[in-house]
Structures are given as structure tokens and as C-alpha cells.
Amino acid sequence: MENILVTGGAGYIGSHACKALKTAGFNPITFDNLVTGWKDAVKFGPFEEGDLLDRGRLDEVFAKHRPVAVMHFAALSQVGESMQKPGKYWRNNVEGSLNLIEAAASAGCKRFVFSSTCATYGDQDNVVLDENSVQLPINAYGASKRAIEDMLRDFEASDGMQSVIFRYFNVAGCDPEAEVGEFHQPETHLIPLILDAVAGKRAALTVFGTDYDTPDGTCIRDYVHVCDLVDAHILGVKWLKDEKGSRVFNLGTGEGFSVREVMSKAASVTGKPVPCEEGPRRAGDCTKLVSGSTRAEAELGWNPQRSNLENMVADAWKWHQTGHYDK
């Protein structure tokens, strides 16, 4: 079985990726510092604890497992926090990724699947975004991810590093079998926060801004199911193994939902009202982020199956009710 090194394999998206890799016949090696990940989410292959800022530890892990490809999820990913503590984001995300790319290149591992973000596009006056849209991030999180994309292009020129870069829109939902799920501490993402409010685990959801230039005044996002998202990553590994060359793909559905629309879907799925209050805008938030691209479907053969809002909220609710992470 071929080894794939999965950084951040103990986190939300990484743990779902490990499950998908195992199902696809690969052996996922999780590399995670457990700062935002959870050891008990590592269920599908070996675990190597380590930090991307520790280049020596990375070299050890590459030498031990000789992965055929890297899937790089490990990152700090909160837009709001990145505006308060940009240095933390530049150090962890950019310096950490530089170590990883250099370690991979020197170990001869030249296939790299990178988790980038629609936040690299920034706020573009309600345009629908495709892979050729200009990248003008308005927060440090997006800027740190754009820098890593640039780095991968430089290492392709110098070392032949081949990359598939996925720019995610808003990842949501959970494994429908609830073997793994979403749990951040603290939680900052919309759907789990809504479900916490529904379940009485927090008093109310604060809607960040009701004066945006959108039909109901709240921000619009394109939500994609985590299982569909990780399926694209498996296709990304195959793409690189087939030597199809470096490529960027947006992963979204082309459909946007406002914060209020997500709340109303959660109320209908759970059968309970969503306690909420209106608050000010959150620094760094774009008005609307919707993916207009069909490149992943046309070229990769990506066929998202679960990415409708109802499934995403229902799967997240199922996971929420397991009480797995009632810590």
C-alpha cells in the first residue's frame, strides 16, 4: 500500500481525508502537532506527532515512511484571529509550509496536494470566482495561503515539485457515518455554532453584520460537503500520479447561501428555532464568496454527491448529537 503524508490529519478536513484515502487503498500517515487537532480522530493509519516548524522531525518522518505524495492541510484557519495575530499566521502557515515543501523536495517526494482557500480571492464586488480571478486577499489568513501557492510554483521551477492546489470555498458537514466530524476549540464556524445554539450549548448565534450588500444583508458563502471535498483530493493524488502536471482547482458548488438562509435551513433540519442576535461585522469577512468554476468537474472528474445545504446541515447535526466531543 502506498503511503500518503497527511499534515493536519487529526483535524476536521484532514481526518475525513484519511478516511477517504484508506477507502481508496492508500495508507494515510498523519503528521499533526495536536494544537487544533485531536488524537482520537486519527483512526485510519499511523500517527506521527510533530510540528511543521521542526524541519528535523519532518525529515525523520519522510525517511521513515517514504510517502508517494503529501496532502497538506495543517494550518491556522480563522479569518478573525488572523486579523488580530497576523504574525502567528505568517509563521505557522508560511514558514511551516516552507519547511514541509523543502523536506518533501529533499526526500524526492514531488507530488503535493495543497489546501488553499477562496479567501485568497478577497472581496470582489459580487463576482462569481473562477481559477483565473485575481487573488487579492483582505485578511492575513488568505494572504498566508496565497504565499504558499507562490512558493509551490517556485519549487516547481527549481525542484520539479508538482502540485494540485485546491481553493476551498466553505467546507461543511461531516462523515455521514459519524466516525469523524468537526470540532474546533474554540469553535468559530457558522454551522457548528448554529447547532450549538440550537442544542442550548450556547445562548445564541451572533450574526456578524446585517448591512452587507446582499438580499438579506448577511454574508453569502458557497458551502461544500467535506466528503465531496476530500474525494477531490483523492482525484488530485491520482492526477499527480498520472503526471498531468500542476493545476489549481476551485472546490465549491456555484451556489451561495446567506447566513440567514443557513440558519433557516438548520431550523428546518433540526425542527428547532435558532436563537440568534445581530452583531457588528467581523473584520476580514468578504461580502460574497461563490465559486463559478466547473474546472474540477470537467478536468478531474469530480462529482460532488452530498453538497446540498440540507445534507450538510443534517450530517453535521447527526455528528453533533453523537456527543463525541462534549468536552
Contact positions vs ligand UDP (CB under 6 A): 79, 170, 188-190, 193, 205-208, 219, 221, 259, 282, 285
In this structure, the chain runs to a length of 327
Query: Residue 141 catalytic?
Result: yes
Is 185 strand, coil or helix?
A: coil
Considering the complex, what minimum distance in angstroms separates the CB of residue 250 from ligand UDP? Answer: 14
C-alpha cell at 197: 445554539
C-beta nearest to ligand UDP: residue: 219
- Which C-beta is closer to ligand UDP: that of 91 or that of 282? 282
Count of Cβ atoms closer than 10 Å to residue 187 Cβ: 16
Considering the complex, what minimum distance in angstroms separates the CB of residue 303 from ligand UDP? Answer: 24
C-alpha cell at 113: 496536494
Greatest CA separation found in the chain? Answer: 56
Considering the complex, what minimum distance in angstroms separates the CB of residue 222 from ligand UDP? Answer: 10
Count of Cβ atoms closer than 10 Å to residue 238 Cβ: 15
- Which C-beta is closer to ligand UDP: that of 57 or that of 320? 320
- Which C-beta is closer to ligand UDP: that of 8 or that of 45? 8
Judge contact between 180 and 43, C-beta under 8 A.
yes
- Which C-beta is closer to ligand UDP: that of 50 or that of 252? 252
Rounded Cα gap, residues 218 and 209, in angstroms: 6
Rounded Cα gap, residues 248 and 291, in angstroms: 13
Residue 268 belongs to what H/E stretch? helix 259-270
Considering the complex, what minimum distance in angstroms separates the CB of residue 274 from ligand UDP? Answer: 11
Is 247 strand, coil or helix?
A: strand
Q: Which amino acid is located at 191 in the chain?
A: I
Considering the complex, what minimum distance in angstroms separates the CB of residue 282 from ligand UDP? Answer: 5
Considering the complex, what minimum distance in angstroms separates the CB of residue 188 from ligand UDP? Answer: 5
300: Cα within 13 Å, side-chain hemisphere? 32
Distances from the Cα of 59 to the Cα of 25, 104, 241, angstroms: 25, 8, 22
Active-site residue (options: 12, 89, 121, 141): 141
- Which C-beta is closer to ligand UDP: that of 206 or that of 246? 206
3: Cα within 13 Å, side-chain hemisphere? 17
- Which C-beta is closer to ligand UDP: that of 22 or that of 184? 184
Prior bond to 137 cis, omega within 30?
A: no
The dihedral region occupied by 239, where left means phi > 0, alpha psi between -120 and 50, and beta the remainder, is alpha
Q: Which residues does the annotation mark as catalytic?
A: 141
